[in-house]
Structure formats: C-alpha cells, structure tokens
Amino acid sequence: LKLRAVVVGIPGVGKTTVVDKAVSSLEGGKLVSFGTVMLEEAKRRKWVKSRDQLRGMTVVRQRELQTLAARKIAGMRDSIVIVDTHLFIRTKEGFWPGLPYDVVRAMRPTHLVLVEASPREIASRRAGDAARYRDVVTHQGLEEELALARSYLAVSSTLSGAPMLIVANAEGKSDKAASVVVEALRSARP
C-alpha cells in the first residue's frame, strides 16, 4: 500500500517542523515541499526570487505553477510521500485554494493532516522566524484563517475520499505532533 499524506495548515503553524520530524521515523518516507517545487519553476522563469514572493504574483501565474507542481508530485513513486503544502493562499485577489479539484485529484492523497496551534502561538511563530516573510495578521484574522482551514480541509477530504486528521502542534511539542502523524500513517498498514 502506497501512502500519500498531504500535510496542511496556515502559515507559521509549524508544518515543515512537524513533517521533518515525522519523515525521519518513517521507513521509505519521502518529503516534498509543494512550495519548493513551485519556486524552482518560478525562479527558472525569473518570476520571483524567494518563496514568499510566490503569493504576490497574479493568480493566473500561481495557478500555472501549481498545476505543474501537482503533476510532478503525482508522478512520485516512493512508498510513502509526505507533501508539505497549503489549503489556501492569501493572495492580492482573495483567498485562493491550494488544493482545487484537479490538484487534489492528481495527487490522490490517502491521508490529509491539518496542523493547528492557537492564534497566540502562531502569531509568535510568524514574528519569530527571521528566515521568512510572513503576513502579519490580527488575533481575529488568525481565528478566521483557522476556521477557514477546517472548511477547506473538509472539502479536500470529500473530493479525495481521504480521512482528515487534525493535529495540535502545541508550543515546544512538535515531537508529539510528529508522532501523532506517524502513528496515523502506521495505522494504515495492518
């Protein structure tokens, strides 16, 4: 049985931290950052220089890169693929889906994992990460993003037929969050 876990969550919640830890305890696991795949092509086209510039492009351009990335990831044949990605993107044109119908169908996830944390934790993680340019959003704005994430998650679950797992990434507890992901994937194999 091939496992394809799509791990999502709002910016700065800790997806990359959690999946990096999870993949190291999964034999045959391969990690892929959807944003990195998009960025490689965007750089080749000289559209942007860094990952946080992707969401500033027109939706038409982002969509083109998104479709290419989905196709590339869909072709990966590893026994366990963990995709680090987003349910929606805050663009200048409005919230835009990270997993529209064709993208989620192409990637054929067996599991959907939503990483969550409290608005306070997310605000401090966004502010504290000097390596990234993350949008500054109010406490209420973060609550809205968290609620929106659950809505988009349910849609992706229905479109793909994959179960949705919600994992809390509490402060200082990313190891625990990673082990919840690992346990869920292990449960898929009798």
Could you count the other beta carbons within 10 Å of the beta carbon of residue 162? 20
Q: For ligand AMP, which is the closer residue by CB, 127 or 183? A: 127
Partners of residue 90 on adjacent β-strands: 95
Among 102, 135, 143, 171, indicate the residue that binds ligand ATP (CB under 6 A): 171
Which residues in 20-39 contact ligand ATP (CB under 6 A)? none
For residue 133, give the 3-state DSSP assignment: coil
Q: For Mg ion, which is the closer residue by CB, 16 or 118? A: 16
Question: How far is the C-alpha of 90 from the C-alpha of 107, rounded, in Å?
Answer: 22
Q: Which stretch binds ligand ATP (CB under 6 A): 54-62, 72-80, 148-156, 164-172?
A: 164-172
Could you count the other beta carbons within 10 Å of the beta carbon of residue 45? 10
Which residues in 60-99 contact ligand AMP (CB under 6 A)? 62, 66, 84-86, 89, 98-99
User: 90-124: b or e for each residue (b if 16 or more CB lie within 10 Å)?
Assistant: beeeeebbbbbeebbebbebbbbbbbbbbbebbbe
Residue 160 site contact among ligand AMP, Mg ion, ligand ATP, none (CB < 5 to 8 Å, cut-off depends on kind): none
Q: Which stretch binds ligand AMP (CB under 6 A): 22-30, 31-39, 108-116, 120-128?
A: 31-39
What's the closest the beta carbon of residue 10 comes to ligand ATP, in angstroms? 7
For the chain, the distance separating the N- and C-terminal CA atoms, rounded to the nearest angstrom, is 10
Q: For ligand ATP, which is the closer residue by CB, 34 or 47? A: 34
128 binds ligand ATP per the rule CB under 6 A: yes
Largest CA distance in the chain: 47
Question: How far is the C-alpha of 174 from the C-alpha of 170, rounded, in Å?
Answer: 7
- Binding residues vs ligand ATP (CB under 6 A): 9, 11-17, 125, 128-129, 132, 134, 169, 171-174
- Binding residues vs ligand AMP (CB under 6 A): 11, 33-35, 38, 51, 54-55, 62, 66, 84-86, 89, 98-99
